[in-house]
């Protein structure tokens, strides 16, 4: 009887623990990535990739379940990458070409971006993407696999999945052939994401017969996925933005579908209207009928440190802008300095290094000497660079984050961290500095 009672008690305790334990779930997200460079100037269809929150990479071509503390993996299809159809890259390297969130640079240009990408390639991808004949960085599209957020803004559309679905996906994609099969029209990056999403939820992502002429495009894959979430409200859905890293790199452009790229571009639509008005009218009708889709205005903002955060409001942005102008004003009514331009000039000839803790820094020339400039939140204030260099870096970052635009560039918690760094960089003991800090604090008064 005692044994029977103890057994019943054990079962009751087990049931109680199961009923109160948090639900363990995974997530899948479609990443809609804005176009840049030639794509931004011409078609503007951008790129799309698949983010799996609880699936990780045993290698760039083999998947596994994540261990505690790992941030998941991004799968994407590019052509001319070691003969493979898809490559798996951990989240932070895919976005920022670094391994840990604390190593994300505060401000970047093309040279720093290239250096971080090549450094990651040499450490983790050299078996797939070896050096050139003379030991130089190889050409090709491999660079698209790392540091995506330096070149463009990304939008994420995430829906919950189950552990069982993840296990089936891992087994299926590890077992099937992974050989290059990219085709621009029939097997592009959007086709890869569409097929992967439909593996989890059949018919969740589709092609657009009218708006995209039955060709898979990144924008319509995202649109159809969002429509699927609305038809299935029992599945938790989240939309978020991954802002482009502040810097001198050209900002990315809005994502378009095939018909939309013609309808919205005067360089295409006006000649078509003049030469073939009936066709131009058909293009306009196709766009209105099925081509419109914009990321939600209330989308959260991705922070590598803090997850998804509420975007910076217009009121907060204006208050921080006013405070920043007060901090950077050296004399009454003086024009603000062009920190972006001077920081860009500073990077000429700079070399990427790491400090004793492994955080990236730049070795730059200041006068006749070489100095180390910290470029992350972890080391920007602890390097031996002159104070004005640190100030220029932080002011340049904040100016970029506080600019208006169609998508949020930061969240309030993220900006507050940078503001504290700025205050510390301008904390020299002088009456003028004290007055600037007081004026900035007055400008921010009333913010939470």
In a domain, 129, yes or no: yes
295 with 322, same domain: the answer is no
pTM over the 0.75 mark: yes
Q: Using only the alpha carbons of the chain, give its radius of gyration.
A: 25
355 with 416, same domain: the answer is yes
216 with 170, same domain: the answer is yes
* Structure confidence by residue, pLDDT tens digits, 254-296: 888 665 654 455 444 445 444 445 444 444 444 444 556 777 7
pLDDT at 365 over 90: no
pLDDT of residue 441: 55
Residue where a domain terminates, one of 249, 267, 300: 300
133 with 280, same domain: the answer is yes
pLDDT of residue 44: 81
pLDDT at 208 over 80: no
Distances (CA, A) of 77 to 81, 153, 181, 189, 441: 9, 19, 9, 5, 48
315 with 281, same domain: the answer is no
pLDDT of residue 434: 53
Distances (CA, A) of 6 to 3, 11, 12, 18, 19: 5, 9, 10, 18, 20
pLDDT of residue 335: 45
pLDDT of residue 24: 39
Per the CB < 8 A criterion, the answer to whether 413 and 320 are in contact is no
In a domain, 218, yes or no: yes
Per the CB < 8 A criterion, the answer to whether 350 and 362 are in contact is yes
pLDDT at 67 over 80: yes
296 with 324, same domain: the answer is no
Q: How far is CA 379 from the centre of its chain?
A: 22
Q: Domain range for residue 396?
A: 311-444
166 with 289, same domain: the answer is yes
* CA dist., res. 263 & res. 405, Å (int): 22
Q: Which H/E stretch holds residue 365?
A: strand 360-366
In a domain, 12, yes or no: no
In a domain, 230, yes or no: yes
For tokens 């009333």, what's the residue?
446
Burial of 308 (0-12, 13-18, 19+ CB in 10 A): middle
pLDDT of residue 141: 87
Q: How many Cα atoms are found within 13 Å in the side-chain-facing hemisphere of 358? A: 6
pLDDT at 341 over 80: no
Residue where a domain terminates, one of 240, 267, 300: 300
pLDDT of residue 291: 52
Tally of domains within the chain: 2
Residue where a domain terminates, one of 279, 300, 321: 300
274 with 329, same domain: the answer is no
In a domain, 2, yes or no: no
Per the CB < 8 A criterion, the answer to whether 276 and 64 are in contact is no
pLDDT of residue 10: 46
219 with 119, same domain: the answer is yes
295 with 426, same domain: the answer is no
In a domain, 11, yes or no: no
- Mean pLDDT lowest among 28-32, 100-104, 207-211, 397-401: 207-211
* Structure confidence by residue, pLDDT tens digits, 24-47: 346 999 999 999 986 645 668 899
In a domain, 127, yes or no: yes
């Amino acid at each position: 009887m005692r044994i029977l009672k103890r057994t019943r008690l054990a079962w009751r305790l087990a049931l109680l623990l199961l009923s109160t334990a948090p639900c363990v779930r995974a997530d899948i997200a479609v990443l809609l990535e804005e176009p840049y460079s030639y794509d931004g100037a011409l078609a503007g269809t951008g790129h799309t990739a698949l983010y799996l929150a609880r699936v990780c990479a045993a290698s760039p071509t083999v998947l596994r379940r994540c261990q505690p503390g790992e941030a998941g993996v991004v799968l994407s299809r590019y052509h001319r990458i070691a003969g493979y159809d898809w490559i798996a890259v951990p989240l932070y390297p895919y976005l920022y070409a670094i391994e840990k969130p604390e190593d994300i640079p505060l401000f970047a240009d093309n040279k720093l971006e290239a250096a971080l990408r090549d450094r990651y390639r040499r450490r983790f991808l050299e078996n797939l993407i070896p050096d050139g004949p003379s030991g130089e960085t190889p050409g090709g599209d491999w660079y698209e696999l790392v540091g995506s957020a330096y070149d463009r803004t990304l939008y994420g559309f995430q829906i919950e999945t189950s552990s069982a679905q993840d296990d089936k996906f891992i087994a299926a994609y590890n077992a099937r052939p992974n050989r290059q099969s990219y085709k621009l029209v029939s097997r592009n990056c959007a086709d890869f994401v569409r097929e992967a999403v439909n593996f989890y939820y059949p018919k969740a992502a589709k092609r657009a017969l009218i708006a995209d002429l039955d060709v898979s495009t990144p924008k319509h894959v995202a649109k159809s996925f969002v429509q699927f979430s609305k038809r299935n409200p029992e599945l938790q859905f989240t939309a978020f933005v991954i802002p482009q890293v502040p810097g001198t790199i050209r900002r990315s452009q809005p994502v378009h579908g095939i018909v939309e790229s013609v309808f919205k571009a005067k360089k295409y639509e006006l000649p078509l209207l003049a030469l073939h008005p009936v066709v131009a009218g058909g293009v306009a009708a196709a766009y209105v009928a099925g081509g419109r889709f914009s990321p939600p205005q209330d989308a959260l903002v991705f922070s590598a440190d803090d997850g998804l955060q509420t975007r910076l409001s217009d009121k907060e942005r204006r208050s921080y802008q006013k405070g920043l102008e007060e901090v950077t004003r050296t004399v009454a009514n003086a024009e603000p300095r062009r920190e972006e331009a001077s920081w860009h000039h500073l990077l000429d000839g700079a070399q990427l290094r790491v400090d004793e803790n492994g955080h990236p820094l730049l070795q730059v020339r200041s006068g006749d000497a070489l100095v180390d400039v910290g470029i992350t939140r972890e080391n920007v204030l602890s390097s031996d660079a002159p104070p004005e260099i640190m100030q220029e870096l932080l002011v340049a970052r904040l100016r970029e984050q506080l600019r208006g635009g169609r998508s949020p560039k930061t969240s309030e918690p993220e900006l507050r961290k940078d503001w504290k760094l700025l205050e510390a960089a301008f904390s020299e003991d002088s009456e003028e500095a004290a007055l600037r800090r007081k004026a900035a604090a007055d400008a921010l008064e009333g913010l939470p």
